Structure 1
């Protein structure tokens, strides 16, 4: 599970941001995770308490927004969700597409008290 290492880096990044901006308490941390990324939201949630233990974020609430894994078909130019459609365009059944979104993993928002 590589999520714990990633979450520890997220905690370091948020703590550095907080220190630079004189923030002493963070209420909520919002992460965006794409459906096609290598991060699994439930594992991120499971790792969060261990990653924040003893840090500025230990009382912080974690929110995760899952971003859809969308692609555009190269044949008919329709946008569709890759997971829902089994990697095949639902309009023309082509398997030739370009990913538009879904690989993201980012800190969206830090809500300070």
Structure 2
């Protein structure tokens, strides 16, 4: 479960941001996680309280937005969701595709007060 290590690094980044911007408390942290990312949102949510204990984020809420795993079919040039279509273009049934999105992991928003 590498999610805890990633969360600890996210907390460090947010704390650095807070220090630079004289922020005293974080209310909400919004992460964007791609469908193909190695991060499992359920684990991130479950591990969040432990990773923020004793930090400026303690008591904050974690929100996660899932980014779709889109691919471009190399045969017909249509964009499709690779996860829901199991890697097969719904237009031409080709398996030849290029992944366009879905591997991302971003800190989207830090709500402060």
| TM-score, normalised with respect to structure 1 | 0.99
Displacement, 1:59? 1.1
- Where 2:43 maps in the other structure, the secondary structure is helix
Equivalent residue, structure 2, for 1:6? 6
Instruction: Please name the residue that 1:60 is paired with.
Output: 60
Cα distance between partner residues in 2 of 1:88 and 1:20: 46
State the partner residue of 1:19.
19
- Deviation, 1:20, is 0.5
- Taking the aligned partners of 2:48 and 2:93, their CA distance within structure 1 comes to 40
Distance 2:25 2:55 in 1: 10
Q: CA RMSD, aligned part only?
A: 0.5
Q: What corresponds to 2:100 in structure 1?
A: 100
Unaligned runs of 5+ in 2: none
Kindly tell me the number of residue pairs found equivalent between the two proteins. 113
Measure, in 2, the Cα distance between the counterparts of 1:51 and 1:95.
Answer: 40
Q: In structure 1, what is the Cα distance between the partners aligned to 2:74 and 2:13? A: 38
**CA offset digits 1:44-103 (Å, max 9, x no partner):** 001100000111001111100000000010110001001100100000000010111100
CA distance in 1 between partners of 2:49 and 2:27 (Å)? 14
Per the alignment, in what secondary structure is the counterpart of residue 101 of structure 1?
coil
Determine the C-alpha separation between the residues in 1 that align with 2:86 and 2:29.
Answer: 32
Output the TM-score relative to the length of structure 2.
0.99
Gapped runs of 5+ residues in structure 1? none
* Displacement over 4 Å in runs of 4+: none
